[in-house]
């Protein structure tokens, strides 16, 4: 094996450095040329989204202090925007494209930030009625001259009038071309502002903090969304339990709440408050049991649910315990044979509050249980017999004399 002399290693190292330098220069040329391509992009309505982000713009486009530009320069860029997009409802993130169609001194500038503010108004518009008239002709949105807090509150009031509350989703942005909203609020990321207000208390500093907080409270603003959602769930459970007890008096176990997994609060049912109409209560119960929705890390909330009869084992487990309990009583009463008619329902005492109550074989929490139908579901659908406990439950039924394949034909009444 032949080793190269040290000078050859030095030469190779020098050549490698030159190659790296050439690659760097070529990369810069490619970047510059690519920026040149960007500068020739067409500007029309479909390209508005492209102009909303500064990530495509070189930093040196923003070096000009546009606040010192004359009014005539500003009116040119505003007229150009109006001619291109048809209005002056300028999105807050809009950046003037660096193309020949737009005034050069405005390239890369966030237009709305500079023309819709009090400083620009004071410097160029105040006490100049001819300029006000000129701006009116091209649709200048004067509402945008308000302080951000005023626009935010106007948007919140409008949102409440439309949706009935101020629980604004984090992703909600006020739509354009919607006459329910003031033009000054179009494109306002209302959900994001509400999120930041809760998280960082934006707008709530200084001497006006208490007054502004009171304004929000007056609208019903929710400061703790998690607590609000839990209380809504708790209220729905209480109403459901109350209505079930009223509808099935003496047949429902008062200390246990069993909400069907697909139950949704009916609309137009005035027994429920309107705020709960269409509320997916069954789905929420499942999420609380399986995912600890609302209660993870909140033992007091868990306690509050248990106190009104919420059970963590779910309806399937609770339902099986009732079925096997009723089946055991029926089997004992019928000579260890468990084959009730389809129509059999666990009876309550013939006369409520009589002396027979203490002797009645059926406990109150089972009154009204459709045992015949439940056991048919076991035979036909395999109800309660799925999952890790299926074999144990089958053995329980076998021990009670369950008839898996009943004889056909008319049956005698039990």
In DSSP notation, 221-282 reads --S-HHHHHHHHHHHHHHHHHHHHHHHTTTTS-TT-----TT--PPTT-TTS-GGGTT--HH
Strand partners, 335: none
As separate numbers, helices (DSSP H) first and strands (DSSP E) second, the chain gives: 14, 0
Residue 43 main-chain phi, psi, to 5 deg: -115, 105
Distances 73 to 7, 38, 140 between C-alpha atoms, Å: 63, 23, 16
Q: Looking at residue 26, what is its pLDDT? A: 53
d(C-alpha 185, C-alpha 193), whole Å: 12
Instruction: Give the pair of three-digit tokens for residue 72.
Output: 């005539």
Residue 338 main-chain phi, psi, to 5 deg: -115, 90
Helix (H, G, I), strand (E, B) or coil at 39: helix
Instruction: Give the pair of three-digit tokens for residue 85.
Output: 């997009």
Instruction: Give the pair of three-digit tokens for residue 120.
Output: 């620009």
Q: Looking at residue 263, what is its pLDDT? A: 93
Q: Looking at residue 319, what is its pLDDT? A: 75
d(C-alpha 260, C-alpha 246), whole Å: 17
Q: Looking at residue 224, what is its pLDDT? A: 94
d(C-alpha 332, C-alpha 362), whole Å: 12
d(C-alpha 6, C-alpha 173), whole Å: 67
Residue-by-residue pLDDT tens, the chain, 414 positions: 444 454 555 555 556 665 665 555 454 444 334 444 333 333 444 455 545 544 444 444 455 567 788 999 999 999 999 999 999 999 888 999 999 999 999 999 999 988 998 888 888 898 899 999 999 999 999 999 888 999 999 999 999 999 989 999 999 999 988 999 999 999 999 999 999 999 999 999 999 999 999 999 999 999 999 999 999 999 999 999 999 888 765 444 445 788 888 899 999 899 999 999 999 999 999 999 889 999 999 999 999 998 888 877 655 565 788 888 899 999 999 999 999 999 999 988 876 655 656 678 888 778 888 899 989 989 998 888 887 888 998 999 999 999 999 877 655 554
Q: Looking at residue 41, what is its pLDDT? A: 36
Q: Looking at residue 379, what is its pLDDT? A: 92
Predicted TM-score (pTM) of this structure: 0.58
Q: What's CA 248's distance to the chain center, in Å?
A: 35
């Amino acid at each position: 094996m032949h080793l190269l002399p040290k000078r050859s290693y030095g030469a190779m190292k020098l050549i490698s450095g030159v190659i790296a330098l050439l690659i760097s220069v070529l990369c810069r040329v490619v970047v510059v040329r690519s920026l040149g391509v960007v500068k020739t992009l067409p500007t029309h309505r479909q390209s508005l989204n492209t102009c909303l982000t500064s990530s495509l713009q070189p930093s040196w486009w923003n070096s000009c202090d546009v606040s010192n530009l004359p009014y005539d320069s500003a009116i040119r860029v505003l007229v150009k925007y109006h001619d291109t997009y048809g209005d002056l409802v300028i999105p807050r993130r809009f950046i003037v494209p660096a193309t020949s169609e737009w005034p050069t001194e405005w390239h890369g500038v966030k237009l709305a930030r500079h023309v819709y503010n009090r400083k620009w108004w004071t410097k160029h518009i105040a006490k100049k009625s001819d300029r006000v008239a000129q701006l009116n002709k091209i649709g200048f949105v004067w509402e945008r001259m308000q302080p951000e807090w005023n626009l935010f509150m106007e948007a919140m009031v409008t949102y409440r009038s439309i949706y009935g509350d101020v629980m604004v989703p984090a992703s909600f942005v006020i739509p354009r071309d919607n006459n329910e909203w003031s033009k000054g609020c179009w494109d306002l990321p209302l959900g994001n502002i509400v999120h930041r207000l809760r998280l960082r208390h934006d707008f709530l500093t200084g001497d006006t903090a208490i007054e502004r907080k009171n304004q929000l409270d007056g609208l019903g603003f929710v400061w703790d969304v998690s607590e609000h959602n839990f209380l809504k769930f708790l209220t729905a459970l209480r109403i459901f339990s109350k209505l079930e007890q009223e509808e099935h008096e003496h047949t429902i176990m008062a200390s246990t709440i069993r909400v069907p997994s697909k139950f949704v609060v009916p609309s137009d049912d005035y027994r429920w408050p309107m705020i709960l109409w269409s509320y997916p209560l069954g789905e929420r119960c499942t999420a609380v049991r399986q995912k600890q929705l609302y209660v993870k890390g909140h033992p007091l909330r868990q306690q509050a649910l248990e106190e009104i009869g919420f059970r963590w084992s779910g309806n399937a487990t609770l339902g099986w315990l009732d079925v096997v309990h009723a089946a055991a009583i029926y089997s004992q009463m019928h000579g260890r044979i468990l084959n009730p008619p389809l129509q059999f329902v666990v009876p309550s005492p013939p006369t409520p509050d009589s002396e027979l109550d203490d002797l009645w074989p059926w406990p109150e929490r089972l009154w009204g249980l459709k045992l015949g139908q439940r056991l048919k579901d076991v035979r036909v659908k395999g109800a309660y017999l799925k999952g890790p406990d299926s074999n144990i439950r089958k053995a329980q039924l076998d021990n009670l004399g369950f008839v898996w394949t009943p004889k056909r034909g008319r049956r005698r009444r039990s």
